[in-house]
Amino acid sequence: MPDIVDIAVSAEGFSTLVTAVKAANLVDTLKSPGPFTVFAPTDAAFAKLPPGTITTLVQNIPQLTRILCYHVVPGRLKKADLAKYQSVGSVEGSPIDLLIEGDVFEVNNATVIQADIEADNGIIHVIDTVILMRPHWFWPIMNSALAASARG
């Protein structure tokens, strides 16, 4: 079976991701046995980012590495496996929020457009948005709105 990198290289629509992985020197890591669960943004996902974002990241490899590592979760987790969790820890260190209900499969603010692509050293889920680490104040802000409306 091809590994994660092979699948990404051969498939259509992942050229930006492949370039980024190569620039960040993560190819060897992603070719290692792992296993890894990778949330792979498409080229369209990268294009949604405002101009200059990729430029700056590519100029600064450690920072690019961090963003890419955030898309990787250790372990071989398919959609059914992930459904048990509300969030999983990424390789970068920050959690990724999950929403899996029936047909809905979302990670953070990205929708998984194709799930459970099997690779030799892991699983790939294709997402339509580049996900970014949610700061520690994110959920308190979201919940304060609920608390406020509950207070009336």
Restricted to residues 64-103, the positions that interact with another protein (CB under 8 A) are 64-67, 93
Give the range of 11-19, 62-70, 75-83, 120-128 binding another protein by CB under 8 A.
62-70
What gap in Å lies between CA 118 and CA 138, rounded to an integer?
33
Give the range of 11-19, 38-46, 54-62, 71-79 binding another protein by CB under 8 A.
54-62
Written as one string, the DSSP assignment of 25-67 is T-HHHHHSS--EEEEEE-HHHHHTSPTTHHHHHHH-HHHHHHH
Are the C-beta atoms of residues 88 and 77 closer than 8 Å to each other?
yes
Residue 7 CB, nearest approach to another protein (Å): 26
Residue 123 CB, nearest approach to another protein (Å): 24
Number of residues written out for the chain: 152
The binding site for another protein (CB under 8 A) comprises: 49-53, 55-57, 59-60, 62-67, 93, 108-109, 132-138, 140-146, 148-149
